[in-house]
Chains A and B, each alone.
Chain A
Amino acid sequence: MSDHEQVTGVGAYVVVFLALMVLTSLTVGAAFVDLGPFNDVVALAIAFTKATLVVLIFMHVRHASRLTKITVVAGFLWLLILFGITLTDYFSRGFLG
């Protein structure tokens, strides 16, 4: 870590920790409500928010250099591409009957 990076205060960690706990309870709570296919969407949206908080605050990416930021974004984009083209196979296997 270079010298000019800002240091995140303890307060921010506590807030994020509480936010993660609240979001976890929300996930559990949402599981008991029948939203049809949207149950998955809600659960994934909450998970995405939690992961973003962890990456930005706990993993210090918010104050990291632009090179680190671009590496993180590229990593997620890459995962998306790999999932995407794997699913082209998975979803279209039944098309021919």
Chain B
Amino acid sequence: MSAEPTGRTHYLNADYGVKSWLLTIDHKRIAILYLISITVFFALGGLMAVLMRLELATPVGDMVQPDTYNRLFTMHGVLMVFFFLLPSIPAVLGNFLLPLMIGAKDLAFPKINLASWYIYSIGGLFTLWSMLHGGVDTGWTFYTPFSTAFSNTYVISTAVGVFITGFSSILTGLNFIVTIHRMRAPGLTWFRLPLFVWAHYATSLVMVLGTPVLAITIFLLGLERLFHIGIFDPALGGDPVLFQPMGWVYSHPAVYILVLPSMGVVSEIVTAFSRKRIFGYKFVAYASVAIAVLGFLVWGHHMFVSSQSPYAGVIFSFLSMLVAVPSAIKVFNWTATLYEGSISWDTPMLYALGFIGLFTIGGLTGVMLATLGIDIHVHDTYFVVAHFHYIMVGGALMGYLGGMHFWWPKITGRMYPIFWSKLSALVIFIGFNLTFLPQFLLGYLGMPRRYHAYPEDFQVLNVMSSAGASILGIGYLIPLVYFIWSMRYGKRAEDNPWDAFGLEWETSSPPPTHNFLETPTVSLEAYDYADREEKRRAAEVSASGAVEPG
């Protein structure tokens, strides 16, 4: 990134050199470090998906060996879930924006923030090492007894990578919670906070409370695999099913770590491009907390067919459907915000609207899967694969890209090309649906997940899905190219290019190292566009009155 000709100092040109980045404690620079790292993992995970979809273009297993295919889908899941999606919005956008949004100079613990990136990177290196030595084939969930007793791949080193990375998540969550409690600008009460901050508060609770369970589960898995201590293996006196509730007590809430921040992004974008206060602010804020809490009570819906009592299944079915209530509150409130809004179709808004549509499909198919009878029919089929991709890619990833397009001018001080960015939103939306809609049908017709070959009857739908994946791949390449291009050649961005509401838009683009030259004071409710307009008009009147004689 080139220096400003005006000579203004900001966080990007305040210091130069590798050391100034690797030892930085500036939350904005750490966010950039995360951005680069997760983009690398996203590219690797995406490559695995491309290879899988290529294999599945024909019914016979003709491109890779069955064992290789098992490793492909496992590494795709591990990289995408633990090394891309979990840190994506919190560690990049959250890190960058939380202090800016609450009028603080940095996060509460800047050094812990940097430590979290190093911990993440060490975990990532373990996983990359395992991948280069042949990978792992257990599926990203590491189900026992396969992972403890049978798999002869790099289970331990991959699990250690995930274990280590978990701690970066805990530290980020802890940092966010303390920052939101202690460092809000004067006048910024809890119910004036941007909903992005509320969403990150709820996410942080899940990170801090849920991730230790993952660490414990992986630790127990390691104890058994390395030292033959009987925890999951019945031959050693363990219980193989025990792994599932333990794994899902973390892994289901983890889905909400992915999607809650995305919902926060969408709340910001929908209000900014409708020029309206969000409909039902408190409901949207509390819905984030409700989703975080309920997410901990639904692990049993992953175990409807794995020896859990059917009576417990009924209770988990009911609890899982409850999650739909706060999720629906959000969707309805975004829609109500659009109503009679002054809507503009800028790129971030296209992504946000894409999110609302795709998340709704993902959520409603989630309710179908929470229904015991349907789940037994489609369990472990492509229906499940399609459902969670609608949540994780259609939801979480669309929100991430929407947020990147919304705040990119703030992060880099540059604009990206409008035409190409709108095109990318469209290409991704079409490519995504073409990839995953056929998978709902495949699953409903009975095609199981995690096989490299399938009956010929399923080929048409599989070819559609593979074609969609190619379009989706191109859709992701376009933003990568123009974001990098814009850093050098993009038009210089104004401080508030969208005329949006929020403290992050009141500082310069890119912001100075300590974010604000003076600590801001907040006197307006969040997203109070109407009131802001009124104050602006009043200011104009008084300014014009001041020059008049008399």
- Interface set of A (CB-CB < 8 Å, partner B): 78, 81-82, 85-86, 88-90, 92-93, 95-96
- Interface set of B (CB-CB < 8 Å, partner A): 245, 296-297, 300, 308-312, 315-316, 319
* Minimum C-beta distance from A94 to chain B (A): 8
Chain B neighbourhood of A86, CB < 8 A: 245
Q: Are B309 and A88 in contact (CB under 8 A)?
A: yes
User: Residue on A with the closest CB to B293?
Assistant: A78
A89 to B316, CA, bound (A): 10
A86 to B300, CA, bound (A): 9
Q: Which of A90, A92, A95 gathers most chain B CB within 10 Å?
A: A92
Contact (A92, B316) CB under 8 Å given A81-B297, A85-B300: no
Q: Can you list 27 A-B pairs with a CB-CB distance of less than 8 A? A: A78-B296, A81-B297, A82-B296, A85-B297, A85-B300, A85-B312, A85-B315, A85-B316, A85-B319, A86-B245, A88-B309, A88-B311, A88-B312, A88-B315, A89-B300, A89-B308, A89-B312, A90-B309, A92-B309, A92-B310, A92-B311, A92-B312, A93-B309, A95-B309, A95-B311, A96-B309, A96-B310
* Minimum C-beta distance from B324 to chain A (A): 18
Chain A neighbourhood of B300, CB < 8 A: 85, 89
Chain B neighbourhood of A93, CB < 8 A: 309
A89 to B296, CA, bound (A): 16
Chain B neighbourhood of A95, CB < 8 A: 309, 311
A23 to B543, CA, bound (A): 76
Chain B neighbourhood of A96, CB < 8 A: 309-310
Chain B neighbourhood of A89, CB < 8 A: 300, 308-309, 311-312
User: Residue on B with the closest CB to A94?
Assistant: B309
A85 to B298, CA, bound (A): 10
* Minimum C-beta distance from A92 to chain B (A): 4
Chain A neighbourhood of B309, CB < 8 A: 88-90, 92-93, 95-96
A12 to B282, CA, bound (A): 44
A1 to B294, CA, bound (A): 32
A32 to B236, CA, bound (A): 34
**Top 9 A-B residue pairs of the complex, sorted by shortest distance between their CB atoms:** A89-B312, A92-B311, A92-B309, A88-B312, A93-B309, A89-B309, A88-B315, A89-B308, A92-B312
A78 to B316, CA, bound (A): 16
Chain B neighbourhood of A90, CB < 8 A: 309
A92 to B315, CA, bound (A): 11
Chain B neighbourhood of A92, CB < 8 A: 309-312
User: Residue on B with the closest CB to A96?
Assistant: B310
* Minimum C-beta distance from A2 to chain B (A): 13
8 extra interface residue pairs, beta carbon distance < 8 Å, beyond A85-B297, A89-B308: A82-B297, A85-B315, A88-B311, A88-B315, A89-B309, A90-B309, A92-B310, A96-B310
Chain A neighbourhood of B315, CB < 8 A: 85, 88
* Minimum C-beta distance from B288 to chain A (A): 17
A78 to B315, CA, bound (A): 17
User: Residue on B with the closest CB to A93?
Assistant: B309
* Minimum C-beta distance from A67 to chain B (A): 9
Chain A neighbourhood of B310, CB < 8 A: 92, 96
A95 to B314, CA, bound (A): 13
Chain B neighbourhood of A78, CB < 8 A: 296
Chain A neighbourhood of B316, CB < 8 A: 85
* Minimum C-beta distance from B309 to chain A (A): 4
Chain A neighbourhood of B312, CB < 8 A: 85, 88-89, 92
* Minimum C-beta distance from B300 to chain A (A): 7
User: Residue on A with the closest CB to B298?
Assistant: A85
User: Residue on B with the closest CB to A81?
Assistant: B297
A95 to B315, CA, bound (A): 15
A92 to B309, CA, bound (A): 6
* Minimum C-beta distance from A83 to chain B (A): 12
* Minimum C-beta distance from A80 to chain B (A): 12
A49 to B312, CA, bound (A): 31
* Minimum C-beta distance from A14 to chain B (A): 36
A88 to B309, CA, bound (A): 8
* Minimum C-beta distance from A63 to chain B (A): 21
A82 to B308, CA, bound (A): 16
A22 to B308, CA, bound (A): 42
A86 to B312, CA, bound (A): 8
User: Residue on B with the closest CB to A67?
Assistant: B181
A89 to B308, CA, bound (A): 6
Chain B neighbourhood of A81, CB < 8 A: 297
A90 to B300, CA, bound (A): 12
Q: Which of B297, B309, B315, B319 gathers most chain A CB within 10 Å?
A: B309
Q: Which of A82, A86, A88, A90 gathers most chain B CB within 10 Å?
A: A88
A85 to B299, CA, bound (A): 10
* Minimum C-beta distance from B119 to chain A (A): 26
* Minimum C-beta distance from A11 to chain B (A): 35
Chain A neighbourhood of B297, CB < 8 A: 81-82, 85
Chain A neighbourhood of B245, CB < 8 A: 86
Chain A neighbourhood of B319, CB < 8 A: 85
User: Residue on A with the closest CB to B311?
Assistant: A92
* Minimum C-beta distance from A41 to chain B (A): 25
A82 to B300, CA, bound (A): 11
A93 to B300, CA, bound (A): 14
A66 to B315, CA, bound (A): 33
A52 to B423, CA, bound (A): 62
A85 to B312, CA, bound (A): 8
A22 to B55, CA, bound (A): 71
User: Residue on B with the closest CB to A78?
Assistant: B296
* Minimum C-beta distance from A97 to chain B (A): 12
A82 to B209, CA, bound (A): 13
A60 to B296, CA, bound (A): 29
User: Residue on B with the closest CB to A75?
Assistant: B209
Q: Which of A81, A89, A90 gathers most chain B CB within 10 Å?
A: A89
A68 to B316, CA, bound (A): 31
* Minimum C-beta distance from B303 to chain A (A): 8
A95 to B310, CA, bound (A): 9
